[in-house]
Structure 1
């Protein structure tokens, strides 16, 4: 319940929009195809590598970072999508199965760890650097190549990081369904 309240509070914050690496046809990564992505049931190797780099760099800044979600099965995605709809609780995602980059191993979610447990606190400077740890993590992640959900318009997903490699959900769905992507 705390997580849901934290997400609701975070969505009220206004953040700047940044250009998303790989978001245009010219920036698309030619080494990553939709077909290769949909053939995996785990984090994409490049996302896994970036996740490990994020954890190393956060630790170097004395930030206790925890990855709370990575690859998400379609069953798990539908379970989360049902929350606040056909199941109890608050809405936690706007994506059903195969509509999330998590389903293709291209996204992770994070939280911060304190002595009291996991927190989704975007304002506290736990490491004493002068900047909130949550935002330090987002900055590190973007430097590594992740897109941060806190930069999105509309629903801002502050714990969410993804690497799309310029691939849209539609392209990934098509590759999954037909084995090809346009």
Structure 2
């Protein structure tokens, strides 16, 4: 039923009633912008730090990132979006840490091999007041909320568990491996083809 509604509304058909779908329903029924923005973009503006990072993500991912911040808040968990799009160069600099550059190893992905390089992935931080909590059982609760929104959660990965990480897999990548998806994302990036087309 949700897929049929999405098709009728002209939004991505994934069978999950997320912010894009609800925003399109609101726009169709109420026909009104919210503070000069389309409903799916304005449903839930969040804190300014998160909004700066959200602005780096693809438009398809932005409302879901906002919705995750709001759902976490409604559950009594304060989170912020702390990392979003990275260029290949920024990714390579992170990859060098703990290898050829000072610091601890923070990633196993070189440029072009991280979903962050394509605007479909973001990392969250759990906060208590102004204090960032790098480790907290609250990440598991946020993970469940993200999965409920249709996001993939790094905390459920088998090889490298990354609890702060979330990503929105394009519909065309539903039946393929992460490695295959990344290869296609690199190809689309190099040819200028949209990620979610």
* Shorter-chain TM band: 0.5 to 0.7
Paired with 1:120 and 1:65, the residues of 2 have a C-alpha distance of 11
Match of 2:165 among 151, 160, 181: 160
TM-score normalised by structure 2 residue count: 0.63
Q: Which runs of 4+ in 1 moved over 4 A?
A: none
C-alpha distance after superposition, 1:74-126 (max 9, x if no partner): 22211111101110122111111111111100001011111361012233xxx
Distance 1:135 1:172, change over 3 A: same
**Counterpart in the other structure of 1:11:** none
Match of 1:136 among 135, 138, 141: 141
2:150 aligned with 1:145? yes
Paired with 1:54 and 1:43, the residues of 2 have a C-alpha distance of 14
TM-score normalised by structure 1 residue count: 0.68
2:131 aligned with 1:117? yes
* Runs of 5+ unmatched residues, structure 1: 1-28, 32-40, 124-132
Paired with 1:107 and 1:171, the residues of 2 have a C-alpha distance of 16
Secondary structure in structure 1 of the residue aligned to 2:166: strand
Match of 2:65 among 46, 51, 60: 51
Note if contact 1:54-1:144 (Cα within 8 Å) is conserved in structure 2. Answer: yes
Aligned residues: 135
The Cα of 1:30 is off from its aligned counterpart by: 6.7
Which structure shows the higher helix fraction? 2
Kindly indicate whether structure 1 or structure 2 has the higher relative contact order, using CA contacts under 8 Å at least 6 residues apart.
1
Paired with 1:153 and 1:111, the residues of 2 have a C-alpha distance of 21
Which structure would you say has the larger Rg? 2
The Cα of 1:155 is off from its aligned counterpart by: 1.2
